[in-house]
Chain A
């Protein structure tokens, strides 16, 4: 882990895609788009997917509050139990808590995740939400859309479209995890 004061633009083993400023501007734009599309914040709720999505959802809540002066309800989702590859894995992934402390009935839920890739995580998240309640609408916000979908899923709000090859590794590193805010492609 690097200290926050250490701010090199590019590190040896990674290719920088977005820096802290880029992420901040993308989040601001997404916050505006969410408010615009939903004509305000009435009935609006945000649910972040663990772990990166939760951090980004909290940031969006703050941004939306600065625009509309209202703090929208926020939830946190662990989708592990809904993964489609659970039966195939040898070691089960560590479970974290799901917490959606509000009633989603007749609410618009904006799912928030860091990277949209195959779409399988989002499928799992939507199934999980449906078991927790009956939202009126589910929308999807992601910081990076890197393509290669394996399911018919599309984001409503995208920070950056990033063409990648399938075996490249895209990482979103965030301050909340003790990193400098940045999006990188790991070099092999």
Chain B
């Protein structure tokens, strides 16, 4: 089993075996990140370009650290300081980066499909670090890794994804992957935040949070993405928080060994109560720590010589 792909664009396009391979590879890198010298020479001489058209600290830093721990050279390309403001297209920007012999381009963009467009236009490997509302495959992979790290197996696992599903690329990637791995996925949120026809992908939709959380093994909270919502999808933040905020009382409805996840940044007191975010069942900081190992695994698997 190997990952015979030039690019990592979505989890919709990966098989369950490929997802498992990435998680197992990440396991080996988890050991590396626990060493005193957290660096291996696997990607020596390779160049990784972080091309981020949207603000991001967590994901960009995580990719940067992952690439550096593999001994690759890393360039961070920030559009505000580049020719993009002068009217250059995405593909032209990328071709220029490629002409500097970038082996892997990590792209974050506000338009769905941007990573695929780029992948079709350049020879470098492209890793999607979030494209619009579409997918955020590496975040979902680190979520899956964190679940697995807790000794949970995906077959029959009950996972509730709570919040603004329709604007969440993290949710979409997780839905595709979890369904493929055999988990029971529940989506919890108001009707205005549920994508039309999402049940066709496999999950069940709940509009009452207490119902959706009953006996689940994993709760994935989503951030309220106010910057992506064009119009008001709920009357007030306070009302949203009352109906869909994760409180300690609500956590008690779930399975006793439940873990609480959040892709960050968290809005304390809005979608998640501070005492839940800081509780023992919260694995939010584990997710961040695992992100580096998972991205090392992905960079390693993508770094094979291009034909």
Asked if B266 is at the interface of the complex by the 8 Å CB criterion, the answer is no
Question: Which residues in B have their C-beta under 8 angstroms from that of A92?
Answer: 2-3, 300-301, 303-304
Question: Which residues in A have their C-beta under 8 angstroms from that of B41?
Answer: 81-82, 127
Q: Given A88-B305, A131-B35, A98 and B45 touching (CB < 8 A)?
A: no
Contacting residue for A97 out of B2, B3, B27, B307, CB 8 A = B27
Asked if A66 is at the interface of the complex by the 8 Å CB criterion, the answer is no
Question: Which residues in A have their C-beta under 8 angstroms from that of B70?
Answer: 81
Question: Which residues in B have their C-beta under 8 angstroms from that of A99?
Answer: 31
> B40 touching A82 by the CB < 8 A rule?
yes
Contacting residue for B304 out of A89, A95, A128, A131, CB 8 A = A89
Q: Given A81-B41, A97-B27, A132 and B300 touching (CB < 8 A)?
A: no
In the complex, what distance in Å separates the CA atom of A33 from the CA atom of B2?
41
> B27 touching A94 by the CB < 8 A rule?
no
Asked if B241 is at the interface of the complex by the 8 Å CB criterion, the answer is no
Asked if B99 is at the interface of the complex by the 8 Å CB criterion, the answer is no
Asked if A1 is at the interface of the complex by the 8 Å CB criterion, the answer is no
Chain B: minimal CB distance from A149 (Å): 22
Question: Which residues in A have their C-beta under 8 angstroms from that of B280?
Answer: none
Closest to B103 in A: A87
> B31 touching A97 by the CB < 8 A rule?
yes
Asked if B150 is at the interface of the complex by the 8 Å CB criterion, the answer is no
Question: Which residues in A have their C-beta under 8 angstroms from that of B297?
Answer: 95
Q: Given A78-B28, A89-B304, A132 and B42 touching (CB < 8 A)?
A: no
Q: How many residues of B sit at the interface, in one of the four size bands? A: 20 to 34
The chain B residues found within 8 Å of chain A, CB to CB, are 1-4, 21, 24-25, 27-29, 31-32, 35-37, 39-46, 70, 297, 300-301, 303-305, 307
Chain B: minimal CB distance from A61 (Å): 21
> B31 touching A98 by the CB < 8 A rule?
yes
> A98 touching B28 by the CB < 8 A rule?
yes
In the complex, what distance in Å separates the CA atom of A78 from the CA atom of B31?
11
Q: Given A91-B4, A92-B2, A92-B304, A81 and B35 touching (CB < 8 A)?
A: no
Question: Which residues in A have their C-beta under 8 angstroms from that of B304?
Answer: 89-92
> B1 touching A94 by the CB < 8 A rule?
yes
Question: Which residues in A have their C-beta under 8 angstroms from that of B39?
Answer: 131
> B28 touching A95 by the CB < 8 A rule?
yes
Chain B: minimal CB distance from A107 (Å): 15
In the complex, what distance in Å separates the CA atom of A31 from the CA atom of B150?
40
> B46 touching A87 by the CB < 8 A rule?
yes
In the complex, what distance in Å separates the CA atom of A81 from the CA atom of B42?
5
> B307 touching A90 by the CB < 8 A rule?
yes
Question: Which residues in B have their C-beta under 8 angstroms from that of A132?
Answer: 35, 37
Chain B CB within 10 Å — which of A80, A91, A96, A99 has the most?
Answer: A91
Question: Which residues in A have their C-beta under 8 angstroms from that of B27?
Answer: 97
> A87 touching B2 by the CB < 8 A rule?
no
Closest to A85 in B: B305
In the complex, what distance in Å separates the CA atom of A133 from the CA atom of B37?
9
Closest to A127 in B: B41
Chain B CB within 10 Å — which of A87, A88, A90, A99 has the most?
Answer: A87
Closest to B4 in A: A91
Question: Which residues in A have their C-beta under 8 angstroms from that of B301?
Answer: 92
In the complex, what distance in Å separates the CA atom of A162 from the CA atom of B41?
32
> A94 touching B40 by the CB < 8 A rule?
no
Q: What does the 1/0 interface line of A64-98 toward B look like (CB < 8 Å)?
A: 00000000000000101110001111111011111
Question: Which residues in B have their C-beta under 8 angstroms from that of A98?
Answer: 28, 31-32
A residues 81-128 in Cβ contact with B at 8 Å: 81-82, 86-92, 94-99, 127-128
Q: Given A95-B300, A98-B28, A127-B41, A90 and B305 touching (CB < 8 A)?
A: yes
In the complex, what distance in Å separates the CA atom of A87 from the CA atom of B45?
9
In the complex, what distance in Å separates the CA atom of A90 from the CA atom of B307?
7
In the complex, what distance in Å separates the CA atom of A87 from the CA atom of B1?
19
Question: Which residues in B have their C-beta under 8 angstroms from that of A90?
Answer: 304-305, 307
Question: Which residues in B have their C-beta under 8 angstroms from that of A88?
Answer: 305
Q: Given A131-B37, A131-B39, A132-B37, A87 and B305 touching (CB < 8 A)?
A: yes
Name 10 A/B residue pairs within 8 A (Cβ), A-sorted: A81-B300, A87-B305, A91-B3, A92-B301, A94-B21, A95-B29, A98-B31, A128-B40, A131-B37, A133-B36
